[in-house]
Structure 1
Amino acid sequence: MVVVELLVVLAFIYLGARIGGIGIGLAGGAGVLVLSLFLGVDTGHIPIDVILIIMSVIAAIAAMQVAGGLELLVDLSERFLRKHPKRITFYAPIVTYFMTLLAGTGHTAFSTLPVIAEVAKEQGIRPSRPLGISVVASQIAITASPISAAVVFFSGILEPLGVGYLTLLAICIPTTFAACMIGAFVSNFLGCELKDDPVFLERQAKGLIKLQGQTQRNLLPTAKTATAIFVTAIVGVIVYATLISDTVNLIQDPALGRNEAIMVFMLAAATAIVTITKIDPSEISNAPTFKSGMCACICVLGVAWLGDTFVSSHITEIKALSADILNQYPWMLAVTLFFASMLLYSQGATTTALMPAALAIGVAPITAIASFAAVSALFVLPTYPTLLAAVEMDDTGSTRIGKMVFNHPFLIPGLVTIFTSVALGFALGSLVL
């Protein structure tokens, strides 16, 4: 029966991957139905806190977007990139990394990808180089964002093991950022020069390549206010988490837990943005970030619930099979997370589905933290939205998916970045923990 149940799980994950987008969450829920109703498996835990955190953060980001805050961040990013155009391959991932770090979602990269492609093209730099590593940076930064659902959930299950929220961030932020820079260095040498690319030359001969120059944006007068409110809320979350942490412990026995604090700080930020900037609150639910965030909630609900339903019902067998292997080869956890995230399309879903099981079978906290970045292998299959957007926005044709499917400009930078982050995680973790 274990084999049958595992095949059911894999079948519905495959179905969700074929549907694409929100389909992975829908299929996950259908898989829970089959496991529970037809095979008699007790349903696992629903990752309620993760879903509520995503909803709260997305509400604040969407309010900021309606007030013009995201447009302001994109404008600042373009000014930064245009001041250093020759170093676009290194500076572009810095922009997407910190935008994701700030917002807790990689979908903020959508607005910066056209700028990256345009600046690279103007400089005669192969756009696939900065675009490839920028997409990867926007994904791996989720594992370092103070308000991402993956980080908050992971820190919650680490705390009983003596590893706090701030300690997790202290390891993940420097290791993932340094890994992105190494990935950028490698990306800088991938592919031929733009002037030698036959696809580019063919498009250029047909007049399909256009230079648009710097975008002139009409920023809303409320943009700075909304952005300031959102950033203040993030700082407030970090400060409050510090005050209630076991390390500082200035607030003992807090009435408001860290997870709940993130929710209320974000909802309060959205309230302040709506009240102060006078935006129409009905427009928040129509914002692109709101729609993508709600899709993420469904994905986490379905996939994480499906994974926990199977794992929790067979934790004894899994522990017997995996404990010795992971204790002898700790890096195997990173490999497992890597391949799981390829199929689940979500750092939050992968973390909630597999990390509790990993810790339950005795994986050391340092191994789990070092392997955490591997939940960001969303770039392997060329179907993730930001990856496809990068391909579409590069009119030079240099950012393209090859006939072999896996030969695309995101794969090597992504592999290098995750491998480096895991290695640095073990190194830094051994000093911090």
Structure 2
Amino acid sequence: MLILQFMFLLLMLYTGSRFGGIGLGVISGLGLVIEVFLFKMPPTSPPVTVMLIIMAVVTCAAILETAGGLKYMLQIAEKILRKNPRRVTLIAPLVTYAMTFLLGTGHAVYSIMPIIGDVALKNKIRPERPMAAASVASQLSITASPISAAVVYYLTQLGGLDHTISLIHIIGVTIPSTLIGTIAIALYSMRRGVELEDDPEYQRRLQDPLWKEKILSTTATSLDEKLPTSARNSVLLFILALVSIVAIAMTPEIRTIAEGSKPIGMSVVIQMMMLAFGGIIMLASKVQVAKITEGVVFKSGLTAAIAIFGIAWMSDTYFQYAMPEFKAGILEMVGTYPWSFALAMFVVSVVINSQAATCRMMLPVALGMGLPPQLLVGIMPSCYGYFFIPNYPSDIATCNFDTTGTTKIGKYYFNHSFMVPGMIGVVTACIFGYGLAGFIF
């Protein structure tokens, strides 16, 4: 019966993934109702802490976007790319990695993709090389960002298990490992595929007058817009917020309010700091409050919160109910092959299209089985598996931005542009992270 119920869980996740975003959250809510009232599973608590963190971070980032901070970051990124056009395949993944690292979400990189494609095309570089690598790198970086929902949830759970585990322990592993994974992706991409002039799809499009006009007239840029000084200042304030969070994480004394009391949890600190700096940016930049909810960051962040709300609640209810039966068999497998839990994380992420939701679903399972924190942090990049099925918004958008047709979903669906870069990035990051975690913990 548990296996059938697990298949039902996967069915709900798959069905929700076809709608994406809010659809994934509400379909999971339907699954939760069936679990409780039909399968008689006791409901667990909803993921309130994770949702509050997402809301706080998204609010601050949305204010940054309204203040012009994202456009300022985009202009800096474009200047770097255009000053080094022949190295666009190496630089573009690092640029999108940095943007996600700062903002805690990969949804802010859509605006840079047309620019990456434009730089590549004007230098006769196959656009698939930098664009696919940049799309994958933007998602791989989520487990390195100190304000991403996935990292904060890890911190909340592992810190509750062992108060000596801090944010520095986690990002001390995930930053180097995912950065090395990103470099591996870029190096692989340098020579992938045939040269642009020899690509049959590119040549076919050049024979089509409409496509030819679109290809030859492409001039994507953000440098023609004059931004106010407040845009730069908002970025500096946002970076100061990140530095402050890391500094507070490194000094538990600051978080200790009364002598003899436990330090304030970092999940609470992140919520406070993000809301506070959101207020500081709003006041300093004179942001129009009504426009905050109109930006891409706010809409995508709120959508993610609702998706995680449903997914995590439904999944946690099932696994808490099934844990006594599953624990023995899974423990034996993971005890013999520790990396096998990374495979489980990867498979779940393929289905539910969210790193935070994957962590929220799988980490309690791992802790319930007594798996060591260093293993769980080392393999954390394996929660990014949704490149495997090419239906994630950033990957679809990247294909659409490439007017040459080199970045594509293949004839056989799984032979798409993101498969090999994704596998290289995740596997490299997990191998390096697993080794590094042994030294840091």
Deviations, residues 134-160 of structure 1 (Å, cap 9, x unaligned):
111111111011111110111222222
Please say if 1:328 is aligned against 2:330: no
Q: Which amino acid aligns with 2:362?
A: L
Q: 2:219 aligns with which of 204, 208, 212?
A: 212
Which residues in structure 2 correspond to 1:144-183 (within 5 Å)?
144-159=144-159, 160-161=161-162, 162-183=164-185
Counterpart Cα distance in 1 of 2:326 and 2:47: 21
Instruction: Answer whether contact 1:89 1:130 (CA < 8 A) is retained.
Output: yes
- Of 336-345 and 270-279, more deviation after overlay is shown by 270-279
Give, in whole Å, the separation in 1 of the partners of 2:9 and 2:228. Answer: 47
CA RMSD of aligned residues (A): 2.0
> How far apart in 1 are the matches of 2:5 and 2:277?
44
Give the distance between the partners of 1:422 and 1:390, measured in 2 at CA.
Answer: 25
Q: Which aligned pairs between 1:123-162 and structure 2 lie closer than 5 A?
A: 123-159=123-159, 160-161=161-162, 162=164
Gaps of 5+ in 1: none
How far the C-alpha of 1:429 sits from its partner, in A, is 1.5
1:357-402 deviation per Cα after TM superposition (whole angstroms, max 9, x unaligned): 1121022222211211010112111111111110111101111111
Which residue in the other structure is 1:190 paired with?
192
The answer to whether the Cα contact below 8 Å between 1:243 and 1:251 also exists between their aligned partners in 2 is no
Cα 1:418–1:220 shift into 2, 3 Å? same
Letter in structure 2 aligned against 1:195: E
Specify the alignment match of 1:59 in structure 2.
Answer: 59
C-alpha distance in 1 between matches for 2:31 and 2:46: 14
- Answer whether contact 2:14 2:352 (CA < 8 A) is retained: no
1:201 maps to which residue? 203
Q: Distance in 1 between matches of 2:79 and 2:93?
A: 15
**What is the deviation of 1:99?**
0.8
Q: Which amino acid aligns with 2:186?
A: A
| SS class of match (1:45) | coil
**Rounded Cα–Cα distance in structure 2 between residues aligned with 1:328 and 1:245:** 40
1:253-332 matches, cutoff 5 A: 253=261, 256-332=264-340
**1 CA distance for matches of 2:227 and 2:34?**
50
* TM-superposition CA deviations, 1:165-200 (whole Å, max 9, x none): 211111110011011101111122221111101111
Query: Are 1:238 and 2:246 matched, yes or no?
Result: yes
Instruction: Please give the residue correspondences for 1:341-420 in structure 2 after superposition, counting only pairs within 5 Å.
Output: 341-420=349-428
Structure 2 residue 226 is matched with structure 1 residue 226: no
Deviation at 1:322, TM superposition (A): 0.3
Q: Distance in 2 between matches of 1:130 and 1:53?
A: 32
2:120 aligned with 1:112: no
Secondary structure in structure 2 of the residue aligned to 1:143: helix
Residue 189 of structure 1: SS of its match in structure 2? coil
Contact 2:388 2:419 in 1 (8 A): yes
Q: May I ask how many residue pairs the two structures share in their alignment?
A: 433
Cα contact 2:143–2:381 (8 A) shared by 1: yes
**Displacement of 1:252:** 6.8
1-structure distance, mates of 2:185, 2:319: 34
Cα distance, 1:309 vs structure 2: 0.6
Aligned counterpart, 2:27: 27
Stretch of structure 1 that moved more, 413-422 or 313-322: 313-322
The letter of the residue matching 1:425 is G
CA displacement at 1:269 relative to structure 2: 1.2
Once the two structures are aligned, what percentage of the paired residues are identical?
34
* Structure-2 residue corresponding to 1:41: 41
- Structure 1: how far apart are the matches of 2:57 and 2:262? 22
Judge conservation of contact 1:133–1:184 (CA < 8 Å) in 2.
yes
Query: Cα distance, 1:254 vs. partner?
Result: 5.8
Q: Which runs of 5+ in 2 are unaligned?
A: none
Are the structure 2 counterparts of residues 416 and 268 from structure 1 closer, same or farther at C-alpha, using a change threshold of 3 Å? Answer: same
After the TM superposition, which parts of structure 1 deviate over 6 Å for at least 4 consecutive aligned residues?
Answer: 248-252
CA contact (8 A) 1:68 1:223 kept: yes
1:2 and 2:9 correspond = no
Distance 2:259 2:141 in 1: 29
- Normalized against structure 1, the TM-score is what? 0.96
Q: Closer, same or farther in 2 for the Cα pair 1:250/1:122, shift >3 Å?
A: farther
Question: Partners of 1:28 and 1:176 in 2: how far apart?
Answer: 30
Q: Is the Cα–Cα contact under 8 Å of residues 142 and 148 in structure 1 kept in the other structure?
A: yes
TM-score of the superposed pair, with normalisation by structure 2 = 0.94
